[in-house]
């Protein structure tokens, strides 16, 4: 009788051990994802507005599944794009000399000012969440390292000449460089480390041994990514100093043919000095999760995957 009870208890213990192993077993996976959507470089300057662009990202890493719990980490490359729009303004320069040697005051009307950015970040995500049969969500944070950055400043510039001695303002005279032109100035930019809050929620699809997830996501930057080491002027000259005429031992008053101002990168200029810039990226993310081969575990003389 005692022997029978011992065998029954042993069988129950073995069954309980198998169930326990099944319910708490960790599942190791690799994940690959791609994302696309709306990105922006937000700012708090008074005269500068933030306009959005199209961003995208790709990444891969490791996922741990324990029951319905998910932990995810890895590496992700994001290309964030945005536009900083500067309000219209007038730039005036006195004591200029025209092509005929007459003195005048130059007026430059800047309109449709756009500074277009493309920023590359290498992110390390740490995400936690829950996955059911049909739906899932992840939330956490990311740390991003700036790996490249480009600025392309563009706008329309109308130049006129104010001649006090001639009592008049002259315009639409291309031979005196009083004209309207489209200008573009490209330059590299560097940004600081980025810290982001990240969340995604979506649908789960299973095909064979592969799980697919389609989700809406949002990455919101908490850090000021503006590199305040730049102290450049808002305007740059289209003609390099080396190409300007020299009168005696010094450069003259920058005659009209040689002073053609363009908009510099706003991030590199003193226009955004000490201002706060942060990132925003929202859109759709598709993730593919592939399970890794499971190790065999032996408990109570029973070996299983």
Maximum Cα–Cα distance across the chain: 125
Give me the mean pLDDT over the 160-178 stretch: 81
- The pLDDT assigned to 90 comes to 95
Give me the mean pLDDT over the 54-61 stretch: 96
Handedness of CA 130, 135, 139, 145 (dihedral sign): positive
> Each residue of 201-258: pLDDT tens digit?
999 998 888 999 999 999 999 999 998 888 889 999 886 654 444 444 444 444 444 6
In a domain, 99, yes or no: yes
CA 149 to chain CA centroid, Å, is 9
> Does residue 242 sit in helix, strand or coil?
helix
> Each residue of 135-167: pLDDT tens digit?
999 999 999 999 999 999 999 999 998 887 776
Alpha carbons 277 and 48: distance in angstroms, whole number:
11
In a domain, 76, yes or no: yes
Instruction: Return the higher-pLDDT residue of 253 and 65.
Output: 65
Q: b/e map of 127-165 (b: 16 or more CB within 10 Å)?
A: bebebeeeebbbebbbebebeebebebbbebbbbbbeee
In a domain, 88, yes or no: yes
Alpha carbons 16 and 13: distance in angstroms, whole number:
5
Alpha carbons 261 and 91: distance in angstroms, whole number:
9
Domain assignment of residue 281, given as a range: 28-304
For residue 22, is pLDDT > 60? no
For residue 7, is pLDDT > 90? no
In a domain, 5, yes or no: no
**How many domains are there within the chain?**
1
Read off the tokens for 177: 């460089």
In a domain, 3, yes or no: no
In a domain, 17, yes or no: no
In a domain, 11, yes or no: no
Phi, psi of 176 (to 5 degrees): -105, 10
Q: Report the share of the chain in percent with pLDDT over 70.
A: 81
Cβ atoms 158, 109 nearer than 8 A: yes
Q: Residue with structure tokens 């029973």?
A: 302
Please report which confidence band the pLDDT of residue 45 belongs to, taking 50, 70 and 90 as the band edges.
Answer: confident
In a domain, 125, yes or no: yes
Alpha carbons 14 and 150: distance in angstroms, whole number:
63
- The pLDDT assigned to 114 comes to 95
Q: Residue with structure tokens 């208890």?
A: 9
């Amino acid at each position: 009788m005692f022997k029978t009870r011992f065998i029954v208890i042993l069988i129950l213990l073995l069954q309980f051990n198998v169930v326990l192993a099944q319910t708490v077993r960790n599942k190791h996976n690799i994940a690959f994802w791609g994302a696309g959507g709306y990105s922006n470089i937000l700012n708090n300057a008074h005269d500068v507005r933030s306009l959005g662009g199209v961003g995208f990202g790709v990444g891969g890493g490791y996922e741990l599944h324990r029951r319905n719990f998910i932990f995810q980490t890895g590496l992700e490359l994001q290309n964030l794009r945005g536009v900083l729009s500067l309000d219209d303004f007038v730039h005036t320069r006195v004591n200029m000399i025209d092509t005929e040697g007459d003195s005048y005051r130059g007026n430059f009307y800047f309109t449709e000012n756009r500074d277009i950015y493309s920023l590359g970040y290498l992110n390390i995500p740490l995400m936690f969440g829950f996955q059911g049969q049909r739906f899932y969500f992840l939330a956490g944070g990311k740390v991003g390292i700036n790996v490249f950055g480009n600025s392309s400043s563009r706008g329309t510039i109308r130049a006129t000449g104010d001649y006090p001695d001639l009592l008049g303002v002259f315009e639409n005279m291309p031979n005196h460089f009083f004209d309207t032109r489209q200008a573009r100035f490209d330059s590299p930019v560097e940004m600081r480390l980025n810290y982001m809050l990240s969340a995604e929620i979506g649908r789960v699809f299973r095909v064979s041994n592969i799980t697919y997830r389609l989700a809406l996501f949002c990455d919101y930057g908490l850090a000021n990514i503006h590199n305040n080491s730049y102290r450049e002027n808002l305007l740059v000259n289209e003609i390099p100093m080396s190409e300007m005429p020299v009168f005696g031992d010094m450069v003259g008053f920058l005659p009209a043919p040689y002073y053609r101002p363009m908009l510099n990168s706003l991030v590199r200029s003193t226009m955004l000095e000490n201002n706060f810039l942060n990132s925003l990226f929202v859109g759709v993310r598709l993730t593919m999760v592939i399970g890794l081969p499971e190790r065999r575990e032996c408990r109570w003389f029973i070996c299983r995957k």
